Structure 1
Amino acid sequence: MTTTIQATMQTKIQDMVDTSAASWEGWNGLGYESRSQILERWSEELEPELSAMVSFQCRNAAEHVAETMLMPGPTGETNELYCAGRGSFIVTADAETPLVAVIGQVAAALVTGNTLFVSLPSGFSLSAAELVAQLEKSGCARGVITAIDCDQLADLVSHPAVAGVAYAGKQTTSQALARQLAARDGMLAQLISETDCESLPVIGSPTYSLRFVTERTRTINITAVGGNATLLELGSGESH
């Protein structure tokens, strides 16, 4: 591969990462209810098993991560603890992985406020491009979910701005992804791996959505000079 071709590929990868990052703030800012409504509209176009998986992930996210908790603080100050999406995730799977597993990954990652890159193998029951088209038709803004080619996957996994990878398939591939993520520069990335694609104990867990979020605190000072409220936000994840 020539240097020119490599440079072109890297530029394309960076453009995709920048677009996804720019879309993240708006998607994360929609809130759980609005994101769930979009995903429920998507689920209406799916087969019953797949629709049930989308509803399952939305329902569990509403129970475990959607609520904002009020924390104690001094008089004149309001402190809130809430969950936000981590950023841009990759969703990928093996050719033998059932579609319901991928649907569960996508639903959990999106409802919790993350943007997605989706890479699915050739011959899979649904292409990444078809998945993107379905979700954009249901209300996802362009850039919230992006289809990527298999030959772009390794470069995106290694990109320091990607928050994590949700993978369903073989244990050996999961281990290879873990090594690749550990070797890269930048922020620590999350590998969310499902290797039992028959029982789906990870994706089927009621707390699966917790793997896609970071906790943040929001402080509002209502005693500022002149009555103006000042706001401070702190997060346990990377700022975007």
Structure 2
Amino acid sequence: MPRQPGKGDVTMTIDTVVNTHLAVWESWNALGYEARCAVLRRWAESLPVAWRAMVEYQCQQTAHQVAAVHVMPGPTGETNELYCAGRGLFVVTAAAETPAEAILGQLTAALVTGNTVVLCLPEESEVQAQTVESALTHSGCNAISAVPESMIDTLLAHPAIAGVAYAGNMAALQRLARQVAAREGALAAVIGETDVHALPVVGSPTYLLRFVTERTRTINITAVGGNATLLELGSGEPIEN
């Protein structure tokens, strides 16, 4: 008979899952919004119509809310860009009675914005976490893992978790928020939806903004005292007379 995992075994398993996600996060985040949308839409083709509509809605909102790169004023010879990027590793979880549209809305929002996801759902949930992981992986997404609901307490205590998205009742949401606040490490985002039928939070046009952080990119074309043309000329073979 297989040995039942103890507390130490669970911690080791969660550490492995988290480390795997941290290793792939940079490449998934750098893939870009358009490419991530393509992966998620490919996965959604196999879903029921109502579920597919939620995935498509979140993908459509990326162009309006988070995909644009804004050029900011700067000194001559310098370009400054403001853009949105994923925060890191998110936990997506829900109460057993939560409709699939709410769960898939959370999952899609987290993934399309450049985060990796650990999906942690009750066994009796309409959405089966292992099935979702398998289908997304087959569609080209390496940024998702499924773990049993029994591991959620250890998972939320991990200092590398960037946030948790939960759909269900208010009491459970408050408990999750207290768990996340009590852990070590940087503050993590807690994103909750308690009206799982009307979905005022998940269905909001600005929902995706909860999963991103703003970054700036500076390109200085005069860093060595010349302009871009001179730098380009200086990088080739020497000119023979």
Same fold, TM exceeding 0.5?
A: yes
What residue is the counterpart of 2:201 in the other structure? 202
Secondary structure in structure 2 of the residue aligned to 1:89? strand
1:7 is displaced (CA, Å) by 2.5
What residue is the counterpart of 1:160 in the other structure? 159
1:150 is displaced (CA, Å) by 1.1
After superposition, the C-alpha distances for 1:103-151 in whole angstroms (9 at most, x for unaligned) are 100111000000000011012122110000111111112xx10001111
After superposition, the C-alpha distances for 1:150-189 in whole angstroms (9 at most, x for unaligned) are 1111111111100010000011000000111111111101
What residue is the counterpart of 1:171 in the other structure? 170
Indicate yes or no: 2:137 matched with 1:136: yes
Distance in 2 (alpha carbons) for counterparts of 1:151 and 1:185: 21
1:228 is displaced (CA, Å) by 8.8
Compared with structure 1, are the counterparts of its residues 228 and 178 closer, same or farther at alpha carbon in structure 2 (3 Å cutoff)?
farther
What residue is the counterpart of 1:232 in the other structure? none
Secondary structure in structure 2 of the residue aligned to 1:204? coil
Q: How many residues align?
A: 224
What residue is the counterpart of 1:87 in the other structure? 88
Distance in 2 (alpha carbons) for counterparts of 1:126 and 1:200: 17
Please say if residues 10 and 154 of structure 2, whose CA atoms lie closer than 8 Å, have aligned partners that are also in contact.
Answer: no
Distance in 1 (alpha carbons) for counterparts of 2:118 and 2:227: 41
Query: Which is higher, the Rg of structure 1 or of structure 2?
Result: 2
Q: Which TM-score applies when normalising by structure 2?
A: 0.90
1:89-238 equivalences in 2 (<5 Å): 89-141=90-142, 144-225=143-224
Secondary structure in structure 2 of the residue aligned to 1:199? coil
In the alignment, structure 2 segments of 5+ residues that lack a partner are 229-241
**RMSD (Å), alpha carbons:** 1.4
1:8 is displaced (CA, Å) by 2.4
Secondary structure in structure 1 of the residue aligned to 2:164? strand
